[in-house]
Chain A
Amino acid sequence: MPVSLNYIFKRIILSILVVIGVIVFSYILLLYTPGDPAVKWAGNPRGPEARKAIEMARRELGLDQPIHVQIAQFIYHVFTGNLGLSIAYKVPVSQVITSGFTATLELLVFAYLLAVPLGLWLGIYSALRRGSRFDSFIQSLSVVLASMPTFWLGAIIALISYSTTGFLPYGRVSYKLAASTGFNPITGFYLLDALIQGNYAVFLDALLRIIPPALAISVYPIGVVARVSRTLVAEALLEDYVRTAVAWGVRRNTIIKHFVLKSIIPPVIQISGLAFVYSIVDAMVVESLVFGREGLGSILLDSLHKADFRVTIALAIYLTIFYILVNTIVDIIQASIDPRVKI
C-alpha cells in the first residue's frame, strides 16, 4: 500500500482541527439565535418565580459561565460523545442523533450502491459509442438528471408510488410487522439488521419502503458519475498505453476492464465522495418532507422548532465530522489505488 501511516495520521490531526473550528463557530452562532434555551429548559415558566427558575436552568446548562469555558467544556463533551440531555426530549443527545443518523445513512448508502455502478456503466457505455444516438441520449439525460431538484423529483416519485397506484408502503418500516416478527434493530440499519436476523419479511418491507426515496436521491449521482466517467473513458482511450495495448493484440474487453477502468476508478471515487456529502442535504430534505421517514431531516426540523439547541449543535458538528470523515476516507482510498502516489 503506497499510503503511509504518517499520511493518515496527519490527515486525522488536520480533521480534528477543522472539527474544533466548526464547534467554536457553530456554538457562537447559536448563542445569537433568538429563543432562550434556558427558558425552554425551565419549561417556559410564568409568574413571579419565573426569573429564579430561569436562572437555575441557566446554571444547570452552564450558560452562566464565561463563553470560553462554555466552549472548552463543549469541545470536551463532543469528543467524549456526552452532550447531555436533549432539552426537548430529556434523553441523551447522542441517542437522538444516532437513531436519525443510521436511518439517513442507510438511505444514502443504498441510493449510492445503486447510483455509482449504474452511472459508471452508462458513462463507459456511451464513451465506447461516442457520437451514437445512445451516447447523445445519455449525454443529455445526464445533464437533466444532475440538474433536477431532488425534492421536486421526490414529490413526483412519491405521487406515483403512493397516491396514484398506491403499490408501495410509506415510511421506513412497518412497526407492526417488526413487532410481530420480533425484529430487533441492533445496528440501526434496518436492511442489514433484518438480513442478519434472517427476518426476510421485515427485510422485504424495509426494502420496498427505501426504494422510492433512494430513487429520488440516486438521480443526481447517476447523472454526475455518468458524465464524468464518459469524459474520463474518452480521454483514457486516447492514452498511449491503450494504443500500445491494442497493437500488442490485447482484446477490447481486457483493455476496457484492465487498462481503462483502472485509470478512471480513482477520480470516479473522488467525484462520488463529493456527490455523497452533497446528497446528505438532499436526503435530509426528501426523507422527512416528502417520504415521511424519520432521520436526520426530521430531527433537525424538530430541534429547530423546539429551540433544542443541544441537538441542533450536535447535529451540525457530527455532520461536519461525517463530511470530513468521508472526504478523508475517499482521499485515502484514492491514494491507495494509484500505485504512483506515495504519501
Chain B
Amino acid sequence: MDSILELQRVTAGYKSIKGFKSLIKRVEIVLRDISFTVEKGERVAIIGESGSGKTTILRVILGLLKPISGKVLIYGKDLYSLPSDQKLQILRRIGYVPQDPYRSLNPVLKIKYIVGEPLEAVGVEWRHIEERASEVLKIVGLPQSIINDTAEELSGGMRQRVLIARAIIAEPEILVLDEPTSALDVSIQAQIINLLNSIYNTFKVTMITVTHDLGVAQYLADRLIILKSGKIVEEGSVDEVLRNPKSEYTKSLITSYLQITGINSLNNIKIRG
C-alpha cells in the first residue's frame, strides 16, 4: 500500500522563555515520540481532549511547526528537509478546514475571494477561479447567489460549507479537518458529516480528522488514533477500538459518550423520569 503521510518518531513542542537564569530558550514538549502512517485513501481520526497535542500534530502535518526530532514524510518526502519551494508544492496537495467557522472567515471578503484564494495563490486566472468557485459551491450545497456576498450573514453551517469549498477547490489529495463540527448544532453537524463523506467518496481523497468527539470520529473515519498528553495510547480500526478498547483512557471516553447519548440503547440505560 502507498503511505501518503508518515510521522516517524516525531517529538515537537514550543519555545518558551522562563526564569531569570536562562536567557536561553527552553522548549515545552507537547508531542512525544509520535509515529503513525496514513495510507492513500484512508479515513483517519486523531482523538484527543484539549491539551492532548492534537492541534500540535496538525501544525506539524501542515508544515507550520518543525519537529524537534523525527521526520514527517508526505509522499515519501521529508517535509522539513525540502527546499521551501518543494515544501510548498507538497503542502498545496493538502486541503485544510480550520476549526471555528465563526472566526476563520474574513467578514469583509466576498465569498468568491475566500473560496478562490488557494487557486489565486498559484496564479490561476480570475475567470477560471470564479468558474471553479461556483463549481465547488455547488458540490458543498451552497447557492450560487452567495458568491458575491460576504460571510457575515451566513449561518454556522453555511460558513463551514464555505470553508470546505475553499479546502477542496485546488483538488487536494489529502483533506485535513480540525474539529469540523464542534461549533455547530447537532442537526447541522449531521449535514456536515454527510457532506464530508460524500466528498470523500466522490474525490477519493485521504481524510484526516482531528476531534475530541468520538461520535463524530466514528462517522468520519475508519481508523482511530487516540492521543493523551502528547502520546498515542491506542490505535486501531473504529470497530476494534469501540468494541474492544485496550487502554483505560479509551474506555473512559466511550463510557462518557454512551452516558451522554443514553438513548441509543434505551432498554439498557436507565432514564430518569
Contact = CB atoms under 8 A, between A and B. Distances in A.
Nearest to B19: A6
B150 to A, nearest CB: 22
Contacts of B19: 4, 6
Contacts, number: 11
A9 B19 CA distance: 11
Nearest to A9: B20
Chain B CB count within 10 A is highest, among A4, A5, A6, for A6
Contacts of B20: 4-6, 9
Contacts of A5: 20
Interface string A300-320: 000000000000000000000
- Interface range, A side: under 10
A4 B17 CA distance: 11
B23 interface: yes
B247 to A, nearest CB: 34
A4 B20 CA distance: 7
Contacts of A10: 23
Contacts of A9: 20
Interface in B144-191: none
Nearest to A13: B23
Contacts of A4: 18-20
Interface in A1-39: 4-6, 9-10
A10 B25 CA distance: 14
Contacts of B17: 6
A162 B92 CA distance: 74
Nearest to B16: A342
A335 to B, nearest CB: 14
A5 B22 CA distance: 12
A322 B20 CA distance: 26
11 contacts: A4-B18, A4-B19, A4-B20, A5-B20, A6-B17, A6-B18, A6-B19, A6-B20, A6-B23, A9-B20, A10-B23
Given A5-B20, A6-B20, 9 more contacts: A4-B18, A4-B19, A4-B20, A6-B17, A6-B18, A6-B19, A6-B23, A9-B20, A10-B23
